[in-house]
Amino acid sequence: MEFPATLFPSSFSTGPPREERGPAPAAGWGELGQVLETSPGCHQVRPPCLGQSVREHRRDQARATLTSYLLSLQAEMMFMPHRGGTGESWEPANAAAVPFLPPSATCWVPSLVPQDILYHSFLRRKLPVSNRVPAVDFTKQLSHFFVDHPEDAFGSLGQLLHKNFHLGDSGVEVGASRNNTIRMTGLMEEINRLDARRGCPDEYLASRLRWFSHLSRDWLFEVPLGLLADCVHEELLLQWAGLLFDDGSTGGALAWLPTEDAGACTGCLVYPGGQGMNHLYFQDVVLEEQPRTRGSCAEFELNGRIRQVAAAQSDGENFVGVRSDYHCGVWRVPGRTGAAPIPLQVIRTSVPASCLTVSPHLSGELAICTQSGSTYLWNVETGLQRLRHDPQTMFFRDHSPWRWCDFTAHPRVLSCADRTGLQCLDARAPRRCHFDLFKVGEEASCQQGERVVLPMYLGKAHPSQHLVTTQFSIYVVDERLPLVPVLKWLHMMKSPPLFAHLTPGDPGRSHKLLLGASRTQEMLLLQYQGERWGGQSACHLVGSPQKLHTIAGCLEHLPTQLPHHHCLLQQHLGTPAAGLAAMLQKDGRQESLLVFQLSEAGDVFCQRLTHEVAKPHVPTSGEEAMAAPGSSPLFEDPASSPHEAAVLRYHRWLKAVSKCCGEPPWHSCPPTRSQRRLFTRKELQTLAGPSALHQQARQRLHQAMQEGGRIQHWDLPDNQSCVILQPPEPVEGPDTLTARLAAAWSGDWSQWWEERTSFNRAKRQRALRERRRRQKQARGHRSLSASFTSSLTYQSELSELSDSGLPQLSPVLPQEGSPLRGSPPPSLVPDEALLSSQSLRSRGIPKERRKTLQDYLGVWAEGPPEPPELPSSQASQLCIPSSQSQLSSVSQTRRKRPRMGF
């Protein structure tokens, strides 16, 4: 283990961090940090693009200052920068991450979002919003509890008193019970009315209610209200803290186990799954053109949510450690292909464990930390050995109970970490032998408020190096030179990197370091160099950091979805990441890095980065175009759509998602304010069921489908079917209904009507040609605004997709001038037929209200068109509140009410 002969210069001082910066957006760019002379024999690290111009420059200069001795120096001296040397180019092989496994078969429970627990109503604007004291809506949570679990909330007193409360409309019967019974009807009515008045700013509590609550507060509840509220509030704050930063998944719950078999491109992927993420799967994977699973996976059901899966190989066998909150387990997986995993041992902790690492040196050895501040060395054969117990943090006081430990170059020395730094201690004499490895302070020129987020032993690349990530920076520290990081870089990630993966490079090549964040799913690929053997070069960062595809990023490459599907998918794909794994696949000169990413919803997506080994890297403009795809619809080009195989995978995955998750529970959405003005609650309720109008419309659509097959039917339960209309191929005369609906969808409905009345076929054809030309043109024009409006015009695009064999995955750009914008206001002529007095009467709407409704709709017919931003489904909802209320409710995402574990 050679130590680099010269290190990059850096100044050193001690004490708490002085710099006060906070997250800075571009802090990681542009700096070389320091330079160090390299002998000319060493590989040269020089920014490539400037190379040519430098040579020219040098020639010019040579003429000018021939006498200078400095000049002759230039030929033999090379300097290498601490950051920003030339790295390898790894290009994404695909435009987006591809689903690797089918979605988990059980229903996915959406994770908590801030809206669930924060107070958001008209009041929010008045309340000061600050990060430290969030306005947590705990009354909502309490009311959920009272409504959903009345037995638990008021059970015993409810049973005692139910004879003494009369809730019916009629008067209290005369009899023996009369003296003991109170009529509560008025109170009930008032409660009901309260519900209707919710959201009204001048809401006041009826005095009777107030009296009642005053009277009953002390005895009515099973759990004293104050205590319950305290607990709920505390829990809410905890949940909120978890939303801000959840360190439970530190380390990541995805692991790749390589096999020993030479030549076989196989391995095993270990990941959690199931509704509670409490099933552990070992899946054999074959790496070919596309990685694919082989055989069935081994499954273990655990009794806790799996937080972390750690793996290491020693003596040709893989050891997998699994951490859930109160249990840690270890499995052994022999290095052969297809070998079954063997569970070895489980331990239970009384305090949640925060870390589990597997020793890369000795088989069956692991290290555990718990939130109480204890660190244990766990040997499968000899059991647990407590190395340290200290509820306090190491270097300064920090409230976080998070602890971490990892192995070092010496198998008996462990590095222990908390938010303030890292310390190494010898397991043979943990109290006596220890030294500080990293400290949040001036030693590493940290910033104020900086905290350790994830330490990792980089033993695979260099036996004595460790990675330390904080919310601002990454550091590489060397055990042999403690406290002074040999590398520091501000990573600029939006949320702190909780996962990291190292792919060591061969001698002379760079080590690839992957950082992953949880909440934002960001992944960053860094390269650094620091020779393990023989090389004298100090550790330095090479190449520029590279962003990898996120799971959520594939959304724009999926076929266009119905709005509510889109929202569901968005939610599903946007769940925080839960782990990452990567493996290097060598295939002759071509190398590729396969990166797997796991989300909290149990999805495993994978992507491939490729690198040509032998060819020296010369960036060209063509290459830049190659690297560009998939970035944004702004710069769309044909190369940006995923490969066919990927498209197939997307399809299969989407199908599986809709199959196993099914539709969200069907609820009609609460009536809008205007609807409430027009109808009573009763009327609105009756309208929710399928009506004659519904039947009629559906019949017509069915018919159209039989005739032309132009209506796309989405596999929904029958009575909830929701259809999308598409503009037909204009060449063969379509049936009138389809054509009309198509025109209506694309916005130029009135034109269609005109054409229909004039029967000017030639004119129509010309107009159609014109429209196609415009569409093509619009596709040619790429503007920034276009990318933002694309989501609003999904329906009109569906047509283009349906008839081509394979669905097109790149998002189609909207036509120039969004259809809703350019056309004259849609007239209500056809709708009048649907909403004639007759049809309204058939739906049980009383006469006087029918008039109001027609007046109301008249306003829409006369008035200016709806602002173009309004999605068409919403616009139609305003016109036909009755029949469309279902549609609109679908388009709104239904979230389960958070129950906070009640």
Partner 1 sequence: SHEHKLNFGKSKEMCLNFIQDAMLQKQWKRAAEFLTFYAEALEKDFSREYMGPSEIIWRIGTEILCHHSDSSMKEFNSFIEQMKTLGVKRYLKVCLEHSFHLLCNGLIHEAYQSLSLAESWRFGEQRALQDKEIKLIQAYKGLLDYYSWSKQKNILLEHGQDGLEDLSVEQEMHSYFRKAAVNLKEIIKTPGVWDIFVKCYVDLLEFYGDDEEARQVLSEYAYNSKFPANPNAHVYLYQFLKRHGESKKSLISALKILHDLVPSHELMIDFNTMLHKSKKRKKRRLGLEVIFAVLDYVGWKENVKAWSCLARQVKQIVISEKHLDWIKQEWNSRKDWWPPFHFSLYLAKKNWQENESLSYEKALVSGIILGKDCKYFRYVSHQGCKAKVKRFRILKKFVNKHSPVHLRVSG
Which residues between 185 and 204 bind partner 1 (CB under 8 A)? none
Q: Which span (5-13, 242-250, 391-399, 795-803) binds partner 1, by CB under 8 A?
A: 5-13
Calpha distance 127→119 (Å, rounded): 10
* Entry field: residues in the chain: 902
Asked if residue 21 binds partner 1 (CB under 8 A), the reply is: yes
Task: Give the range of 46-54, 323-331, 556-564, 696-704 binding partner 1 by CB under 8 A.
Answer: 46-54
Contact call for residue 130 and partner 1 (CB under 8 A): no
Considering only residues 521-580, where is the footprint of partner 1 by CB under 8 A?
524, 532, 544-547
Which residue, 627 or 648, has its beta carbon nearer to partner 1?
627
791 binds partner 1 (CB under 8 A): no
Q: Among residues 74, 696, 827, 836, which is the contact residue for partner 1, using CB under 8 A?
A: 74
| Least CB distance to partner 1 at residue 859 (A) | 32
Q: What is the 3-state secondary structure (H, E, C) of 828-875?
A: CHHHHHHCCHHHHHHCCCCHHHHHHHHHHHHHHHHCCCCCCCCCHHHH
Among 25, 717, 805, 863, binds partner 1 (CB under 8 A): 25
By CB under 8 A, which span of 14-22, 102-110, 207-215, 573-581 interacts with partner 1?
Answer: 14-22
C-alpha span between 174 and 154 (Å, rounded): 28
Q: Among residues 113 and 481, whose Cβ is nearest to partner 1?
A: 481
Beta strands across the sheet bearing 452-457: 452-457, 465-470, 473-478, 487-490
> Does residue number 81 form part of the binding site for partner 1 (CB under 8 A)?
yes
Of residues 257 and 353, the one with the C-beta less far from partner 1: 257
Strands 165-166 and 182-183: parallel
Which residue, 91 or 831, has its beta carbon nearer to partner 1? 91
How many whole angstroms separate alpha carbon 444 and alpha carbon 472?
Answer: 13
DSSP H or E segment with residue 185: helix 185-196
Shortest distance in whole angstroms from residue 223 CB to partner 1: 45
| Least Cβ distance, residue 213 to partner 1 (angstroms) | 43
User: In the complex with partner 1, which residue's Cβ is closer, 487 or 840?
Assistant: 487
* Whether the Cβ atoms of residue 594 and residue 290 lie closer than 8 Å to each other: no
- Report the alpha-carbon distance of residue 250 to residue 248 in Å, rounded: 6
Q: Which residue, 535, 538, 495, 487, is CA-closest to 515?
A: 495
Handedness of CA 622, 627, 628, 630 (dihedral sign): positive
- In this structure, what token pair is assigned to residue 318? 């893989």
467 is a contact residue toward partner 1 (CB under 8 A): no
CB of 801 to partner 1, least distance (A): 27
Q: Is the dihedral of CA 69, 74, 77, 79 positive or negative?
A: positive
Taking the least distance from each CB to partner 1, the nearer of 37 and 152 is 37
**Binds partner 1 (CB under 8 A): choice among 164, 392, 632, 836:** 632
Is residue 362 a contact point for partner 1 (CB under 8 A)? yes
- Asked whether position 789 contacts partner 1 by CB under 8 A, the answer is no
- Letter for the amino acid at 669? C
Mask for 738-777, x = binds partner 1 (CB under 8 A): ----------------------------------------
Q: Is 50 in the site for partner 1 (CB under 8 A)?
A: yes
Q: How far is CA 661 from CA 465, 565, 598, 689, in A?
A: 45, 11, 18, 24
Residues 6+ apart with CB under 8 A from 762: none
Give min distance, CB of 426 to partner 1, in A.
10
- Residue 503 — left, alpha, or beta (φ > 0 → left; ψ -120 to 50 → alpha)? beta
Residue whose CB is less far from partner 1, 313 or 592: 313
Q: Does 837 bind partner 1 (CB under 8 A)?
A: no
Min CB(545)–partner 1 separation in Å = 6
Instruction: Indicate the burial class of 512 (C-beta count within 10 angstroms; 0-12, 13-18, 19 or more).
Output: buried
> What DSSP letter does each residue of 589-649 carry, written as one string?
TEEEEEEEEEETTS-EEEEEEEEESSS-----HHHHHHH-TTS-GGG--GGGSPPHHHHHH
Residue from the set 204, 211, 396, 635 that interacts with partner 1 by CB under 8 A: 635
Q: Which stretch binds partner 1 (CB under 8 A): 27-35, 135-143, 689-697, 856-864?
A: 27-35
Position 612 contacts partner 1 (CB under 8 A): no
SS3 string of 514-560? EEEECCCCCEEEEEEECCCCCCCCCCEEEEEEEECCCCHHHHHHCCC
Under the binding rule (CB under 8 A), the answer on residue 520 touching partner 1 is no
Q: State phi, psi for 203 to the nearest 5 degrees.
A: -65, 135
What binding mask, one character per residue, do residues 647-686 give for partner 1 by CB under 8 A, x or -?
----------------------------------------
Three-class SS of 314-347: ECCEEEEEEEECCEEEEEEEECCCCCCCEEEEEE
The correct pick among 120, 183, 361, 702 for binding partner 1 (CB under 8 A) is 361
Cβ distance to partner 1 smaller for residue 53 or 170: 53
Residue closer to partner 1, measured from CB, 13 or 757: 13
Nearer to partner 1, 12 or 211 (CB): 12
Binding segment toward partner 1, per CB under 8 A, in 70-78, 209-217, 324-332, 509-517? 70-78
Which of 39, 41, 63, 70 touches partner 1 by CB under 8 A?
A: 70
Residues 446-465 binding partner 1 (CB under 8 A) are 459, 463-464
Q: Based on the shown chain and the rule CB under 8 A, indicate whether residue 372 belongs to the binding site for partner 1.
A: no
**Taking Cα atoms as reference points, which of 749, 899, 684 lies closest to residue 147?**
899
User: Which residue's CB is nearer to partner 1, number 18 or number 897?
Assistant: 18
Interaction of residue 211 with partner 1, rule CB under 8 A: no
In the range 711-740, which residues lie near partner 1 by CB under 8 A? none
Site string for partner 1, 471-510 (x = CB under 8 A): ---------xxxxx-------x------------------
The answer to whether residue 230 forms part of the interface with partner 1 (CB under 8 A) is no
Q: What gap in Å lies between CA 799 and CA 732, rounded to an integer?
A: 15
Using CB under 8 A as the binding rule, whether residue 383 contacts partner 1 is answered as no
- 410 lies in the binding site for partner 1 (CB under 8 A): yes
Nearest one of 884, 891, 887, 894 to 675, comparing CA atoms: 884
The answer to whether 876 and 865 are in contact (CB under 8 A) is: no
- Residue 228 interacting with partner 1 (CB under 8 A): no
